[in-house]
Amino acid sequence: MLKFAIIGAGRIGGVHARAVAGHPAGELALVADPVGDAAARLAAGYGAASTTDVADVFASDVDAVIVGSPTPFHVDQIIAAVEAGKAVLAEKPVDLDLARADECVAAVGDRADRVMLGFNRRFDPGFAEVRARIDAGEIGEVEQLTIISRDPAAPPAQYLTNSGGIFRDMTIHDLDMARFLLGDIVEVTAVGQNFAEDIKEIGDFDGAVLTLRGANGGVATIINSRHCATGYDQRVEAFGPRGSLRAENHTATRVQFFGAEVSGASGPYLNFFLERYTEAYAAELDHFITSIEAGKAPSPSLWDGREALALADAATRSAHSGGTPVTLG
């Protein structure tokens, strides 16, 4: 049994609280959030204690800490938790600044085998199956990988201003997926798109198309948009010499409607990450608990978080230079 504290009682804090409470080997003991009564409200739903002082977490007797605070606080909280002897499941991205992520990796040192990064999409049953079947050799070596990831609607301008840009905020999940399914990436080319005037004004993009050259010769394409009329569009296709593996979108029903004016209708895609990745968040937590209890390093690691951020930096440079390829060092 692992006793948990959650830092940050916002959207993702709520997701993790539900996953911990639903796991037979997890107990939510403490929720910390310095703002208003957010911690008390989330904790009350699960019979946990709450505090507005995050330092209480590190002084407490919990075994594990989930860092779900806003990104600028991740590094200090990961380091403090590790130094207090806690296992850590930290949300992505590690930080918006690669130098800070490197400081975190250095400070955590050989305790990195007690830290996991929350790239939840690796635990989506469809995407995990694609990876398992690639590993089993079903399609041969991956030659082309296509990742489509579109949000239903853009977040508010204030969020976007502090997000680090589309590549560090949004594409980072897809960059990790590319590493997960293709392996090491050696070159990134990104073209940014501006259809939304307000996003252009803050110097960001609302769409992007990236090509990533893998060390094995395979190439991944990532297609992103901040908006999608059909809902949260999340698809992956891996193509090899013996065939392709596709993980498609989820809808609320597997039954399709056929009528006089429509055929094959199964409703919109599940709308956004809370609905689409419910199973993935539960599987992610299960992997964390099982790994920590068995004394094994959980995956994805803090280093995977650092590597995805390095790719996001490369994509940012490429897109802002009009699509010049950036080689990874």
Ligand X SMILES: NC(=O)c1ccc[n+]([C@@H]2O[C@H](COP(=O)([O-])OP(=O)(O)OC[C@H]3O[C@@H](n4cnc5c(N)ncnc54)[C@H](O)[C@@H]3O)[C@@H](O)[C@H]2O)c1
Task: Return residues touching ligand X (CB under 6 A).
Answer: 7-13, 33-35, 38, 54, 68-71, 73, 91-92, 118, 120, 273
CB of 218 to ligand X, least distance (A): 26
We find the least distance from the C-beta atom of residue 69 to ligand X, in angstroms, to be 3
Q: How far is the CB of 217 from ligand X (least distance, A)?
A: 30
Q: d(Cα 168, Cα 308) in Å, to the nearest integer?
A: 9
- Smallest gap from Cβ 125 to ligand X, in A, equals 16
The beta-strand segments (E) located in the chain are 2-7, 26-32, 49-51, 64-67, 87-90, 115-117, 144-150, 185-193, 207-214, 219-225, 233-240, 243-247, 326-327
Nearer to ligand X, 91 or 174 (CB): 91
Residue 45 or 140 having the CB closest to ligand X: 45
Phi-psi category of residue 140: left, alpha or beta, with phi > 0 → left and psi -120 to 50 → alpha: left
- Tokens in use for 236? 């992956």
Nearer to ligand X, 11 or 246 (CB): 11
Provide the minimum distance between the beta carbon of 227 and ligand X in the complex, in angstroms, as a whole number.
17
d(CA 91, CA 77): 11
Nearer to ligand X among residue 31 and residue 219 (C-beta):
31
For the CA atoms of 108, 28, 285, 97, the dihedral, rounded to the nearest 10 degrees, stands at -40
Backbone angles phi, psi at 68, to 5 degrees: -125, 25
If the CB atoms of residues 239 and 303 are measured against ligand X, the closer one turns out to be 303
**226 and 154 in contact (C-beta within 8 Å)?**
yes
Looking at the Cβ atoms of 31 and 142, the one nearer to ligand X is: 31
Least distance in angstroms from the C-beta of 63 to ligand X:
19
